[in-house]
């Protein structure tokens, strides 16, 4: 038999009938409908807050706070020469935007640093915010050009 959308059904025994509560004493779930007597949990509209421990001081408030996150920390997106060699052809213009569109860096808003990992054999014109000494030497040795971008991308005040 061929399977089609109109013949699909769940596996036998995997579905159950909905429990109908509050439908008289004979059902076994009448009157309080399985909620017990009184209290917050018996009322309609009750929803337990995440981490609530019945009024006891919750664990996340009992533990001490630790650490510090510097929101002004400078983030560098690293690109190796090996990846540039692999993804670009000779005499190509490489900018942070091009690196972002090719998928070599995730965000174009952070500053880019070119690392000297790997070798480069093609002359490439690379624009980035920073270059390591070895990267600069290898690019120039291969006949390429290095352009250091002055204004940092994430220097909004």
Q: What are the tens digits of pLDDT across the range 81-106?
A: 999 988 888 888 999 999 999 888 98
Residue 131 lies in a domain: yes
Q: What per-residue confidence (pLDDT) applies to 91?
A: 86
Residue 36 lies in a domain: no
Q: What are the tens digits of pLDDT across the range 107-130?
A: 877 899 999 998 998 898 999 999
Q: What are the tens digits of pLDDT across the range 24-39?
A: 999 999 999 999 999 8
The CATH number given to whatever domain includes residue 104 is 3.100.10.10
Residue 37 lies in a domain: no
Q: What is the DSSP string of 75-124?
A: -EEEEEHHHHHHH--TT-EE-HHHHHHTTSSS-SSSEEEEE--S---S--
The residue segments making up the domain with residue 140 are 81-148
For the whole model, what pTM was predicted? 0.53
């Amino acid at each position: 038999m061929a399977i089609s959308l109109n013949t699909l059904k769940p596996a036998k025994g995997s579905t159950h009938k909905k429990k109908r509560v509050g439908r008289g004493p004979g059902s076994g779930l009448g009157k309080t409908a399985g909620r017990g007597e009184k209290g917050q949990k018996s009322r309609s509209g009750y929803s337990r807050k995440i981490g609530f421990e019945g009024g006891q001081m919750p664990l996340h408030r009992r533990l001490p706070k630790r650490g510090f996150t510097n929101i002004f920390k400078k983030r560098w997106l690293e690109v190796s020469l090996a990846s540039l060699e692999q993804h670009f052809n000779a005499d190509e213009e490489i900018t942070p935007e091009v690196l972002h569109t090719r998928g070599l860096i995730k965000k174009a808003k952070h500053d880019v640093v070119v690392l000297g990992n790997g070798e480069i054999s093609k002359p490439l014109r690379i624009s980035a915010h920073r270059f390591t000494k070895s990267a600069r030497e290898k690019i120039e040795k291969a006949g390429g050009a290095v352009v250091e971008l002055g204004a940092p991308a994430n220097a909004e005040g």
